[in-house]
C-alpha cells in the first residue's frame, strides 16, 4: 500500500529545475536562482554560537522525542509575546523541519477515505503529505484577485462529511498572500480542524499575519526556523497541537524520528531569544527586493493581480508565453540561465504561471530581469 501511494506521488518540479541548474553551474554557467525558497542570508551569529557551544557542552545524544523542554518553553513564550496566546510547552512537538511535522500530523489525523480541504493552487507537497497518510486532497479553487486564498463561502459549499481538516498557508507559498483575521474566524466555524502552516510568519511587509491559535483551539499550527531565521539546512521546526493529540504524535516521533537533532534545538532557543534584530534586517532587505521583482515583472509583461505582502515569492501569469510551465521554466533556465519555479508545481490551477523567489540579492534580481528581457525579445 505504502509503495503504491509513493509511486503515485508527483515530483517536486522546482527541485528538478534546481538540479538541472546545478549541472549547468558545474559546466561553468552563472545561474541566478529565483526558483527556490531559500534565504540567501547566513544564519544569525547567535545561532551559530549556540550550536557550537551545545557541541562543546556535549549535547550530541538523543533528546526527548517531543524536543528539549527549554526549547518547547521558548516556543510557548514566543506565542505569548507575539500573539498573546497561551500555549503549554506540553502542546509543542519539535521536529526536523516542518515537512516531517506535516507528514507526522497527517498520519495522526487522517484515515483512509478522509479528505483534507486545501486551496488550489497551493504549496507543492501538501497533496503528497495527504495522499501518503491515506487520505485524499479536496482541492478548492481560490481566486487570483484574493491572493489564491480560500473563501469561506466557497469552502462551506465544497466540504464533505469525510473532510477531516482545512489546510491553510499564510503568508502563502506560492503567492505571498495573507489570510485576514475575519477569514480565519469564518473558516474556524465550518467544523473541520484547521491545519495552519505558518512557516512564513515574521516575513511580512504589509499588515500582520494572524495565527490560527488566535481564533480557535481546534487547530494544529506548524512553524519553524528555516525561513525567517535563514536556517533551512538546520532542519528544525515545530507544531502546536491540541493536548489529546500528543500521545499519538509522541509515539510516531519515537518510531519514525526518535528526536530532532540535539545541538540544533539549542540553536533554536538562541534564535527565538536573540535573533530578532537579524530578522528585522532581513525583512527590510526582502521588502526592497519585493519592490524590484514586482517592478521588473510588470516591465516584462508578466501579470500579478494580487501583490504579495508576505513570504518571498511572486506568482506571475505567463500564460501568454505558453500553457506548459515546466518546459517554459527549463527553456528560461537553458537560454537565460535564470531559475524559476513552474506553476504546475502548485497544481493545475497554476499551470501557465511562474513563481519568482526574491530570496536573492538586488544585484542578482536586476541581472535576472535583464536576462529575462533579452530572453523574451529573442524568443
* Strands of 353-357's sheet in order across: 313-317, 353-357, 341-342
Q: Which residues pair with 356 in a beta bridge?
A: 314
Per DSSP, 188 falls in state: H
For residues 135 and 112, give the distance between their C-alpha atoms in angstroms, rounded to a whole number: 5
pLDDT greater at residue 1 or residue 136: 136
H/E stretch holding 131 reads: helix 126-132
Domains of the chain as residue ranges with CATH: 2-42+277-378 (3.90.1150.10), 45-275 (3.40.640.10)
Q: What is the pLDDT of residue 115?
A: 98
- Model confidence pLDDT, tens digit, residues 6-22: 777 777 889 999 999 99
Q: What is the pLDDT of residue 226?
A: 97
Residue 282 has pLDDT above 90, yes or no: yes
Can you spell out the DSSP letters for 232-287?
GGG--EEEE--GGGHHHHHHHHHHHTS-S-HHHHHHHHHHHHH-HHHHHHHHHHHH
- Model confidence pLDDT, tens digit, residues 334-353: 999 999 999 999 999 999 99
For residues 292 and 229, give the distance between their C-alpha atoms in angstroms, rounded to a whole number: 22
By percentage, how much of the chain surpasses pLDDT 90? 93
Please name the residues in contact with 165: beta carbons below 8 A apart, sequence gap of 6 or more. Answer: 109, 110, 116, 117, 192, 193, 194, 195, 220
Provide the grid cell at 326.
515546466
Residue 232 has pLDDT above 70, yes or no: yes
Amino acid at each position: 500500500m505504502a509503495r503504491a501511494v509513493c509511486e503515485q506521488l508527483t515530483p517536486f518540479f522546482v527541485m528538478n529545475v534546481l538540479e538541472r541548474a546545478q549541472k549547468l553551474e558545474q559546466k561553468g554557467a552563472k545561474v541566478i536562482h529565483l526558483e527556490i525558497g531559500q534565504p540567501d542570508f547566513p544564519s544569525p551569529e547567535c545561532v551559530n554560537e549556540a550550536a557550537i557551544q551545545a557541541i562543546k557542552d556535549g549535547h550530541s545524544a538523543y533528546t526527548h522525542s517531543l524536543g528539549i523542554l527549554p526549547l518547547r518553553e521558548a516556543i510557548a513564550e514566543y506565542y505569548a509575546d507575539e500573539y498573546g496566546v497561551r500555549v503549554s510547552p506540553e502542546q509543542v512537538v519539535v521536529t526536523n523541519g516542518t515537512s516531517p511535522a506535516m507528514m507526522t500530523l497527517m498520519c495522526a489525523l487522517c484515515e483512509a477515505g478522509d479528505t483534507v480541504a486545501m486551496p488550489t493552487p497551493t504549496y507543492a507537497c501538501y497533496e503528497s503529505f495527504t495522499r501518503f497518510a491515506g487520505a485524499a486532497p479536496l482541492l478548492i479553487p481560490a481566486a487570483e484577485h484574493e491572493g489564491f486564498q480560500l473563501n469561506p463561502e466557497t469552502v462551506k459549499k465544497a466540504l464533505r462529511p469525510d473532510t477531516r481538516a482545512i489546510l491553510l498557508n499564510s503568508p502563502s507559498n506560492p503567492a505571498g498572500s495573507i489570510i485576514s483575521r475575519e477569514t480565519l474566524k469564518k473558516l474556524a466555524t465550518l467544523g473541520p480542524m484547521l491545519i495552519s502552516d505558518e512557516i512564513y510568519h515574521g516575513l511580512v511587509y504589509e499588515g500582520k499575519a494572524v495565527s490560527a491559535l488566535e481564533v480557535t483551539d481546534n487547530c494544529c499550527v506548524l512553524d519553524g526556523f528555516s525561513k525567517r531565521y535563514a536556517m533551512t539546512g538546520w532542519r528544525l521546526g515545530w507544531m502546536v497541537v491540541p493536548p489529546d493529540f500528543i500521545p499519538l504524535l509522541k509515539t510516531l516521533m519515537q518510531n519514525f524520528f526518535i528526536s530532532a537533532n540535539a545541538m540544533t534545538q539549542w540553536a533554536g532557543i538562541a534564535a527565538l531569544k536573540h535573533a530578532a534584530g537579524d530578522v528585522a534586517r532581513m525583512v527590510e532587505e526582502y521588502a526592497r527586493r519585493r519592490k524590484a521583482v514586482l517592478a521588473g515583472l510588470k516591465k516584462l509583461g508578466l501579470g500579478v493581480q494580487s501583490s504579495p505582502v508576505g513570504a518571498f515569492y511572486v506568482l506571475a501569469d505567463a500564460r501568454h508565453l505558453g500553457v506548459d510551465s515546466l518546459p517554459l521554466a527549463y527553456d528560461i533556465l537553458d537560454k537565460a540561465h535564470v531559475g524559476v519555479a513552474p506553476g504546475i508545481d502548485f497544481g493545475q490551477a497554476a499551470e501557465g504561471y511562474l513563481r519568482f523567489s526574491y530570496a536573492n540579492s538586488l544585484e542578482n534580481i536586476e541581472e535576472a530581469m535583464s536576462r529575462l528581457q533579452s530572453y523574451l525579445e529573442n524568443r
